[in-house]
Amino acid sequence: MLFILYRIWSLPFEIFTSKVILPSSRVVADTVDRALYPIRFIGELNLLYKKNKELEAQNAQLKSQIVAMQERDVLNQQVLSEQNLDLNYEKLFARIISRTPQNFNRSIIVDKGSSDGVKVSDAVLSNGFLIGQVKKVEEKTSEVVLITNHNYLTPSILDTSRETGMIQGSLEGLVMTDVPAWVEVSLGEKVLTSGLGGDLPKGLLIGEVAESKKGTGLFQDIKIKSPFALSGVEVITILANEQ
């Protein structure tokens, strides 16, 4: 009897709970969930952003390591190329650490100096070709004036005709002057140091004839080309004391 009375008494409460309270709680829960969704979404975005930044940093680090490895390979290849030069001189290998930007006053700074045996007037080569001469020497560094410098004259000689002249830098590149107009010059003819003046050894390769310009005067201008660009040179060879 009591159970029946209890069921009768509790029935409205159960109906109220199932019909009112439970649906209301679901609505509240859904509302709270919807309200919290943007917050959770922003949190997830922040987490993804942080992970993305971490991946970008790792990717940048890997790229820098790859570039560094490639750079070492390039430098090692240039060093090997310089080491293979067959010259009867003591060879010092140096890296270029600075360049002057002026077109008519070109020079470079290398990481070898008097403590390494470098002296003023030492010849400087790259890939077997003369590119300049030591102008100034410090203990750990040296300044090299390039043959492309407008103010620098290189005593030179044509390999076939054996005619001598002077090579000077210009806006058009290297130009050999003081060659008599009557001298026949062949395209591709090698041009070497003449050894005149005593500052540079004789027979160092400078380049080859690219063009000959004969005017109405007594001399002709000969354009000389080098097989490589000086802007791409990073490792050079200094010819020190003769063996």
136 and 195 co-located in one domain: yes
| Number of domains composing the chain | 2
What pLDDT shows up at residue 209?
93
Contacts of residue 114, defined as CB under 8 A and 6 or more positions apart, other chains included, come to 137, 138, 139
Q: Which residue range(s) make up the domain with 59? A: 1-84
Give the residue among 193, 162, 181 at the shortest CA–CA distance from 222. Answer: 181
Q: How far apart are CA 240 and CA 195, in angstroms?
A: 16
118 and 225 co-located in one domain: yes
54 and 152 co-located in one domain: no
68 and 112 co-located in one domain: no
What tens digit of pLDDT does each residue of 11-54 get? 454 554 455 454 555 555 556 556 656 666 677 777 777 788 77
Residues recorded for the chain: 243
114 and 60 co-located in one domain: no
Domain stops at, among 84, 115, 143? 84
141 and 237 co-located in one domain: yes
What tens digit of pLDDT does each residue of 120-138 get? 999 999 888 899 999 999 9
180 and 201 co-located in one domain: yes
The CATH number of the domain where 127 resides is what?
Answer: 2.40.10.340
